[in-house]
Amino acid sequence: MVNKLRKKFVITAILSLLLILVTMIGIINAINMHQVVSDADDTLALLSSNNGYFPAKIISKATKATSSFKTPGAFDWEVINSNHSAETPFQARYFWVKMDSHANTIKINTVHIASVSHDIAEQYAKDLYFSNSRKLGFYHSYRYLISDASDGTKLLLFLDLSTAIINAKQLMVQSLAIGILALIAMFILVFLFSGQAVAPAVESLEKQKRFITDAGHELKTPLAVISANIDVLELEQGKNEWTSSIRNQLKRMNSLVKNMLTLSRLDEERMHVVFTDFDLSETLKDAAISFEPIAESQEKKYKIDIPDGIHIVGNKSSMNQLACLLIDNAFKYSSQNGSIHVLLSMGKHIVFEVSNTCDTIPYGNLDRLFDRFYRADYSRSRETGGYGIGLSVARAIVTSHGGTIEAIRDGDKIIRFVVTLPKSQNKNTQKNK
């Protein structure tokens, strides 16, 4: 139980951090790429408005900035911004092609880029011209802008973003690496301190188990005394409705105490469960046959389909208790004049199944049926004498044998409880939850 609690705590913490890191890394890289594209669009718009050239005032500003001298302070943002604006015409790597309305090339300018020749520039321009592309977009590693002039000509501008794209890729790789390292560091720290984090919950669980165990043992004595007193009263005065009622309540209380103690024992990690090889078919068949008189008295269809010769390494008494719990639950909650089917089969795993018809099946996650003291229908539970603990004991028994149990809705009127068990277990081993 403690290990499961620690595991859930670690998984929850790591998944939460993973979600935060993925969100942050995604936002950072998206903002960075948006800024790159936005700056490129601004540069293209500036070039387009000046027929493919930077305005003269920016060139003159750049010349003035390079000819003047000023001793800047540390991170003087005014100087940094001024230098950035002044260097833009020299940093931008671009080319453009002017074409007429018949796709004839009028002029090509590749002065500001070294990797593109006139022929390549013309080919790129024609590809865009005849592909009916959007006015603004990406072509390979270039951001392009197609502007229409009043005389019917088109100016196709290409701005090289290869450096910016490489920088964006490096930022993404670096941020992912930092995120992975942070996740690993977080996992180590959470794993190391998870014991302290779940300590209060573990202490509370231990107190609950101790209380259940102590209360169960303390209840046994008064129940035994009451049972003995009823025997004496019936010997002296004979049976009557009052003594019968007391016996029924004693039976219910003894069953509850037994199940509570079983749960408490199975919850204890130090509990030793001795497994032996036994005939599972015979054990389950004996348990199932004992319910045949109940089926007859309640006029319910009861079918037992258990083949002979299926063996398992496990605890025989626990398997018998498991069968009785599931079959008893089927009879309690089956519909009037309904049917119950008990099935055992073996393939890759051993499958034990108990199904029954019922008037209503709880909506939502049927796994809640295995929660302690959970009852989907309280009024029906009072009538049948259920406490909502039997299925919890069944799940604890199955888990102690390394198996699984699930409730499956089969249509609107049938519910199936399917137990899957491994065919082999280690003998005489301590089973830890």
Q: Is 70 exceeded by the pLDDT of residue 376?
A: no
Residue 413 sits in the same domain as residue 295: yes
Banded pLDDT at 412 (limits 50, 70, 90): confident
**Is position 84 within any domain?**
no
| CA–CA distance, 110 with 94 (Å, rounded to integer) | 7
In this structure, is residue 249 part of a structural domain? yes
Q: What is the mean pLDDT of residues 254-277?
A: 67
State the total domains in the chain: 2
Contact predicate 342/305, CB 8 Å: yes
Please give the residue that has the higher pLDDT: either 203 or 79: 203
% of residues, the chain, pLDDT over 90: 35
259 and 283 housed in the same domain: no
Indicate if 251 and 345 belong to the same structural domain. no
Q: In whole angstroms, what is the distance from residue 279 CA to residue 59 CA?
A: 95
Of the CA atoms within 13 Å of residue 194, those in its CB half-sphere come to 20
Radius of gyration of the chain (CA): 40
Cα 340 off chain centre by: 35
Average pLDDT, the chain: 81
Lowest mean pLDDT among 78-87, 170-179, 292-301, 372-381: 372-381
- Of the two residues 351 and 367, the one the predictor is more confident about is 351
Least confident of 4-13, 76-85, 139-148, 414-423: 76-85
Res 382: pLDDT: 47
One domain for residues 285 and 412: yes
Domain boundary among 267, 289, 320: 267
Residues 313 and 406 in one domain: yes
**Residues 254 and 287 reside in one and the same domain:** no
Rounded average pLDDT over 102-125: 91
Quote the pLDDT of residue 33: 94
**What is the tens place of the pLDDT at every residue in 22-34?**
999 999 999 999 9
Centre a 10 Å sphere on the Cβ of residue 343 and count the other Cβ atoms it contains. 17
Are 313 and 342 part of one and the same domain? yes
Q: Are 158 and 144 in contact (CB under 8 A)?
A: yes
What span, in angstroms and rounded, lies between the C-alpha atoms of 117 and 123? Answer: 10
Q: In this structure, are 308 and 411 located in the same domain?
A: yes
263 and 372 share a domain?
A: no
Question: Is the same domain home to 382 and 338?
Answer: yes
Look at residue 116 and tell me if it is in a domain: no
Higher pLDDT, 48 or 233: 48
CATH number of the structural domain spanning residue 291: 3.30.565.10
Confidence of residue 223 (pLDDT cuts 50, 70, 90): confident
Considering 212, 247, 267, which residue would you say is the last residue of a domain? 267
Are 305 and 366 contained in the same domain?
A: yes
Residue 246: CATH number of its domain: 1.10.287.130
| Spatial distance between the Cα atoms of 263 and 267, rounded to a whole number of angstroms | 6
Q: Is residue 254 part of a domain?
A: yes
Does residue 410 sit in the same domain as residue 312? yes
Q: Which of 4, 21, 27, 2 is nearest to 186 (CA)?
A: 21
Q: Domain limits at 260?
A: 199-267
Average pLDDT over residues 265-272: 53
